[in-house]
């Protein structure tokens, strides 16, 4: 969809850029500690840190180096002196630009030692590793469900809050997840990105294609536990079960007669 973005949700910050900032911050702090270990004896470290302290006049944050304060001040001034020569995007720190450049170069310096997949960002590798470890450190305080990524927990929380921050700019319908909005937008655009490789028919959702494929494969995964008859979809099985239960949920509004099927 090349038209204006369908989501009207206002973002106050770029999550990817924020993660880059956190990574760079951690790497910078580690580098600082290494430099100090090489130049200062263990017993003198505390003393030197106490002597050299530069405080931000805007927010009161203290840093060990004058250059660190100068870089930090760009948070307040909004200055972004480092620009990408590929797309023009600007950054407040050179390290952030270097991380961004991996989008253009394709560099992925963080490999998984379990399956060999590589990633542009350390945070992406850390999230990926949970596939192998099964770790789910983010827990919902409402129902106890756990998730491998914070973003998944945040999306899940909307089940409890009812929040639907993603709004369609065509019809005004709102959704709890961006992915749901993207699927919905295909109603307006007519996009059907999932083609059948047997007959060429296309579908707007992968689940529709999966169901359609059963016509070609003959698969009928839903089985009646009363008579063994099989069906391509769950709704057909549900209708069939009324034969056994004698249930007649559909009534005529004129005479009141009931029927098992509409």
pLDDT of residue 27: 43
The answer to whether residue 91 sits within a structural domain is: no
pTM as predicted: 0.52
- DSSP character at residue 119: E
Per-residue pLDDT of the chain (262 residues; tens, 9 = 90+): 434 343 333 333 344 445 444 444 544 443 443 344 444 445 554 444 445 688 999 998 988 888 888 889 999 999 999 999 999 999 999 999 999 999 999 999 999 999 999 999 999 999 999 999 999 999 999 999 999 999 899 999 999 999 999 999 999 999 999 999 999 999 999 999 999 999 999 999 999 999 999 999 999 999 999 899 999 989 889 888 888 888 887 888 889 888 877 7
Q: Are 202 and 196 in contact (CB under 8 A)?
A: yes
Question: How many angstroms separate the CA atoms of 32 and 152, rounded?
Answer: 34
Domain with residue 235: its CATH number is 3.30.160.60
- Measured in degrees and rounded to the nearest 5, phi and psi for residue 139 equal -115, 135
d(CA 156, CA 136): 14
Report yes or no on 235 lying in a domain: yes
Per DSSP bridges, beta strands 62-63 and 54-55 are antiparallel
Residue 51's pLDDT is 54
Q: Residue 248: what pLDDT?
A: 80
Q: C-alpha distances in angstroms, 54 versus 26, 41, 61? A: 19, 22, 8
Within-domain flag for 166 = no
Determine, yes or no, domain membership for 140.
no
How far apart, in whole angstroms, are the C-alpha atoms of residue 97 and residue 101?
6
228 lies in some domain: yes
Handedness of CA 80, 108, 13, 189 (dihedral sign): positive
Q: Is residue 234 part of a domain?
A: yes
d(CA 149, CA 162): 20
- The two most distant CA atoms of the chain are separated, in Å, by 96
In a domain, 218, yes or no: yes
Q: At what angle do helices 15-39 and 122-133 cross, to 10 degrees?
A: 100
Closest CA to 70 of 60, 48, 82, 55: 55
Q: Indicate the pairing of strand 118-119 with strand 110-111.
A: antiparallel
User: What are the DSSP calls for 124-190, one per residue?
Assistant: HHHHHHHHHH----EE-TTT--EESSHHHHHHHHHHHH----EE-TTT--EESSHHHHHHHHHHHH-
- The verdict on residue 68 lying in a domain is no
At 221 the pLDDT is 94
Domain range holding 225?
A: 195-262
> How many other β-carbons are positioned within 10 Å of the β-carbon of residue 8?
14
What is the domain count for the chain? 1
Write down the pLDDT at residue 26.
42
Task: Determine the Cα angle at 35 with ends 68 and 70, to 5°.
Answer: 10
Q: Other CB atoms closer than 10 Å to residue 185's CB: what's the count?
A: 21
- Looking at residue 37, its pLDDT comes to 40
Residues 210, 197: Cα–Cα separation, whole Å = 12
């Amino acid at each position: 969809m090349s038209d204006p973005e369908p989501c009207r949700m206002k973002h106050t910050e770029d999550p990817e850029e924020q993660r880059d900032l956190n990574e760079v911050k951690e790497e910078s702090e580690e580098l600082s500690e290494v430099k100090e270990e090489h130049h200062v004896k263990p017993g003198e470290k505390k003393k030197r840190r106490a002597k050299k302290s530069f405080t931000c006049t805007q927010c009161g944050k203290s840093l060990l180096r004058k250059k660190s304060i100068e870089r930090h001040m760009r948070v307040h001034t909004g200055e972004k002196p480092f620009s990408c020569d590929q797309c023009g995007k600007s950054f407040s720190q050179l390290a952030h630009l270097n991380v961004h450049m991996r989008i253009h170069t394709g560099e992925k310096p963080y490999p998984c030692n379990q399956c060999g997949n590589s990633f542009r960002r350390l945070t992406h590798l850390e999230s990926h590793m949970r596939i192998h470890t099964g770790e789910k450190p983010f827990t919902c305080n409402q129902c106890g469900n756990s998730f491998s990524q914070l973003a998944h927990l945040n999306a899940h929380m909307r089940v409890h809050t009812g929040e639907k921050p993603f709004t369609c700019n065509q019809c005004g319908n709102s959704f709890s997840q961006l992915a749901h909005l993207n699927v919905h937008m295909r109603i307006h655009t007519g996009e059907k990105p999932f083609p059948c490789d047997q007959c060429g028919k296309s579908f707007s959702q992968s689940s529709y294609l999966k169901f359609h494929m059963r016509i070609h494969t003959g698969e009928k995964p839903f089985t009646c536990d009363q008579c063994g008859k099989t069906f391509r979809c769950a709704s057909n099985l549900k209708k069939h079960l009324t034969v056994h239960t004698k249930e007649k949920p559909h009534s005529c509004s004129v005479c009141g007669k009931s029927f098992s099927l509409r």
